[in-house]
Chain A
Amino acid sequence: MLSRLARDPLLHFVVLGALLFAAYSWVGPGRGADRREDRIVIDQAQLDHLEAMWRAQWKRDPAPGDVAAIIDRHLRQEVFYREALKRNLDHNDEIIKRRLAQKMEAVASDLGTLMQPPTEQQLRAFYDGRKDLFMQPRAFAFRQVLFLPEEANERSRMKAVLVSLQQGAAVPSDRQNKAALRDDWPLTSAATLDNAFGPGFAKALEDLPLGTWSGPVRSGYGWHLVLMQEKRDPRLPDFDEVRDIVSKQHEYYAVLEAQDRMYAELLKGYTVSLTAADIPAEIRSRFPAP
């Protein structure tokens, strides 16, 4: 995956530029590929790009005089840039070094994940080691009857309905699917319930007795009488049930590790000599002398 490369800010710039060019190359005619070193071309796509950058900075459309300045500024930069390259001025510049190192780091990480697709064994080991990632949450099954705060006499009505439900009466017809919220909820995870009823609803369900109508419980809608039918504990699904999720999670954590692993591998290709006097022995010992 290109994900790590995708994080590099310089590349963002390059890619965004490419995007812009892409838009034009798909609608416009193909342009020539002769790009000799001493030739500077400003075609329509290039100019549009420069103008777009200019607009982003100045928050208005460039006037004809501005266009001259935009072109001038671009040419100056391009000429000096190319001359600088010819004279190796890019060498040993701290800022350029940092940029390039960042780019290389991104490339290395990408390749790291690319070249090491996980084996079945690795995935299983990851699943065993990170059970916390794959636990299925607590879930509830219940029926509910809703009363809205804006309804008249909602409190006294609710009390009366609770008594009648406890005595085995049916849900009153005006309460069925109240506010288009369904009455019956088969086993549903706490998180889903919080999203369907509002934050904190699942927690409030914890205290309800099984097998009898009780409540009320507050939700994002209003007050609910609830017949709790089942409370299921969190469980760890079998590996096969969550294989895809394991694979995705593994990929995520693999990316996190890839950078270090690649650095270590690349470092092996270098001999590091710490000859400065003021380096503590503990640090020096990490880089065995050649």
Chain B
Amino acid sequence: MTKEQLSALLCAALLLVPLSSGAQTPATKAPVRENPLKEAYFGEEHLHTGVSMDAFIAGNRLTPDDAYRFAKGEEIMVNGSLHKIKRPLDFVAVTDHSEFMGEAYSLMNKGAPGYDDPVAVSFRTAPDLKTALELYNKYVLAPLAGGGSPHPDFFQGSQAIKSTWRKNFEAAEKHYKPGVFTTIHAYEWTSAPGGANQHRNVFFRDANVPDMPFSSNEGADPEELWAWMQKQRDEGKKVFAIPHNSNESKGLLFAESSLTGKPIDKKYADTRASMEPLIEIMQVKGNSEVVPNFWPNDEFADFENAISIQRFNGRTLLKENFVRYGLGRGLKYKADLGTNPFKYGFVGGTDNHNGTPSNVEEDNYKVGSHGLADRTAKVRSTSVLEGEMLISDANPGALTGVWAVSNTREAIWDAMLAKETFATSGPRMKVRAFAGQGFAARYGSYEALVKDGYAKGVPMGGNYKGKGAPQILVWAVKDPIGPNLDRIQIVKGWVEQGEIRDTVYNVVASGNRLKKDGSVEPIDAPIDMKTGQFNTKKGAAELMGVWTDPQFDPKQQAYYYVRVLQLPTARWTLYDELREGVTYPADVKRQIVERAWGSPIWVEGS
């Protein structure tokens, strides 16, 4: 099928989308309560609606408007089933592909150029079934079958892209309710040279956005994207980018050279560090933290690794594709160039193509995440996500937690820029960490702990500047509808004699399981395989502690990040088997240890 035919199909099919004429409600100006100690807000950082063409072709007809409704807890029709998430979200960024925003707008919106095109009109006003069928055949079925090449008269060039972007903008404005529900103006820049994923989500701080997003059609090199972003910043706009799927990057995300083959230099490092504060550590197509192949000593590395991505596009697993490698490589660049280009905090997203933000609950993964391709348990248990992976290898996606003073665009975006964030593999556990000196061994209350954390240390995402080994104050609380917590770990990475190293420390464990040698008595709390029910007796609801690095070397740079593990829970595949009677192959996991990752704190020396 040619590009023209596809465009035609897209246009024609869009004719079928009913128009929504939602009244514009101006954002309310009620004062928003602020908490200087910050609250954890949960949200979606990566989502596609029907505006993304790949999502559209896969059957998604939901609009950003629908996506925001879904995020607020409304039941929405998703691929033919009414579906909702259990808990509303605090914030959402709809990140439709900028590459595919083209022809749609004029056909969907009254008064837009092309809306009154005779074909569009005739379709909307088809007097009977027969006429409608003929149009349907001519503009949908025939192009699909490759039988013709009708030129899309509707296409209005860049004006149409602007209009679609504008429509996404308006939906975000309509649903933004400061203090209650935050929408973030965002899109995805989609470049994958040779199948090596370079994708970035671009986030704007406020309603000051360009009239057209920069797509990989204008520039497929991240450096071109950053140059464009710099131009936006020069014009007073506030913007950053978040890369994702480093696991599919063929070694290009944490590379030794730029995409043009130039070894990474100071300028590149400065630009990247400035443009990209965060990385999406996990999503539907896999957890990019670590894999057991290259981190055999991390006993919890085997988690949603989506290893079947290797079967497609030559996306072999490389150590250089993983976030923990990137963090270490960044330290080395810092030593060599003076700037760490990979100084990434953590966020999590879904990359869901159903228009259903943070549809991440394992026991509620009823309609999949990629339209028709994984809509039913029957399909999921037997099929491949074409060009990507085995469906049984996918997961519902991850979640972002942001520590912000209020639930507003500015507060959320600022906290993301400051990297005071964490990612979870789906559950709503909360995690905080501070690095400093003089913390107490125990605190009388949660608030006292947080106050002391800020007073004597830096939060997640910050730079520890004290003398001597940092004390790291850690705190985590369970998801109320999930199981208790098993433990808190700290992952330390450093560079020693030119070699990138990392190790995992157990810092706090429930009960008295943490031994003197640093190991932890396994909690032995398997799920009930007949019901999916998790153990409700073991573990702890809340964990806190203070840890001091026993191997601290003031001459070394290092990063420290927190990983929180909860007790085992059933994976979505087990719920499919119990609920729908399907059977997954024996090697597919039914039980997982869900987790949260707090953004690193860095020790960079002077």
Contacts and interface: CB of A to CB of B under 8 A. Distances in A.
B336 to A, nearest CB: 35
Residue from the set B1, B99, B149, B482 with the largest chain A CB neighbour count within 10 Å = B1
B445 A173 contact: yes
Contact of B2 (A16, A31, A244): A31
Contacts of B586: none
B3 interface: yes
A7 interface: yes
Interface in B80-129: 80, 82, 86-87, 99, 126, 129
Nearest to B57: A19
A19 B59 contact: no
A176 B76 contact: no
Contact of B445 (A52, A148, A176): A176
B421 to A, nearest CB: 16
Given A12-B373, A25-B3, A33-B2, A173 B444 contact: yes
A150 B133 contact: no
Residue from the set A1, A16, A262, A265 with the largest chain B CB neighbour count within 10 Å = A16
Given A14-B144, A115-B129, A173-B445, A6 B16 contact: no
B372 A15 contact: yes
Contacts of B372: 6-7, 11-12, 15-16
A30 B541 contact: no
A111 B136 CA distance: 9
Given A1-B61, A248-B75, A110 B541 contact: no
Contacts of B149: 33
A1 B541 contact: no
B446 A179 contact: yes
Given A52-B386, A196-B480, A220-B481, A111 B18 contact: no
A107 interface: yes
Interface string A1-20: 11110110001101110111
B126 A56 contact: no
Given A2-B13, A248-B76, A22 B129 contact: no
B87 A195 contact: yes
Interface in A185-230: 192, 194-199, 219-222
A115 B126 contact: yes
Contacts of A181: 477, 480
B175 interface: no
Interface residues of A, number: 67
Contact of A18 (B1, B99, B511): B1
Instruction: State the majority secondary structure of interface residues on A.
Output: helix
B586 to A, nearest CB: 15
Nearest to A31: B2
A128 B126 CA distance: 31
A179 B61 contact: no
B6 A107 contact: no
Contacts of A15: 57-59, 144, 372
B550 interface: no
A18 B144 contact: yes
Given A18-B6, A173-B444, A220-B482, A56 B541 contact: no
A81 to B, nearest CB: 14
Contacts of B59: 2, 6, 15
A176 B447 contact: yes
A245 B77 CA distance: 11
A19 B18 contact: no
Contacts of A245: 74-75
Contacts of B1: 18, 21-22, 25
Contact of A19 (B54, B446, B479): B54
A178 interface: yes
A174 interface: yes
Contact of A52 (B129, B387, B481): B387
B601 interface: no
B446 A177 contact: yes
Contacts of A220: 478-482, 541
A107 B133 contact: yes
A16 B373 contact: yes
Contacts of A177: 445-447
Contacts of B82: 252
Interface string B471-495: 0000001111110000000000000
B288 interface: no
Contacts of B511: 150
A194 B481 CA distance: 8
B355 to A, nearest CB: 13
Interface string B1-36: 111111001000100111000000000000000000
A220 B485 CA distance: 12
Interface string A84-103: 00000000000000000000
A44 to B, nearest CB: 13
A255 interface: yes
Contacts of A21: 1, 6
Interface in B327-356: none
A127 B1 CA distance: 45
Nearest to B2: A30
A195 B541 contact: no
A56 B389 CA distance: 9
A55 B386 CA distance: 11
B581 interface: no
A12 B77 CA distance: 18
B16 A2 contact: yes
Contacts of B542: 148, 150, 179, 221
Interface string B376-398: 00000000101100000000000
A76 interface: no
B562 interface: no
10 contacts: A1-B18, A12-B373, A18-B57, A20-B387, A22-B6, A31-B2, A33-B149, A107-B141, A179-B446, A180-B39
Closest 8 CB pairs of A and B: A220-B480, A6-B59, A56-B384, A174-B445, A150-B540, A21-B1, A195-B87, A12-B372
Given A1-B16, A25-B6, 6 more contacts: A1-B18, A7-B80, A12-B373, A117-B18, A173-B445, A198-B481
Interface of A: 1-4, 6-7, 11-12, 14-16, 18-23, 25-26, 30-31, 33, 35, 52, 55-56, 59, 61, 107-108, 110-111, 114-115, 117, 148-150, 173-181, 192, 194-199, 219-222, 244-245, 248, 251-252, 255, 262, 265-266
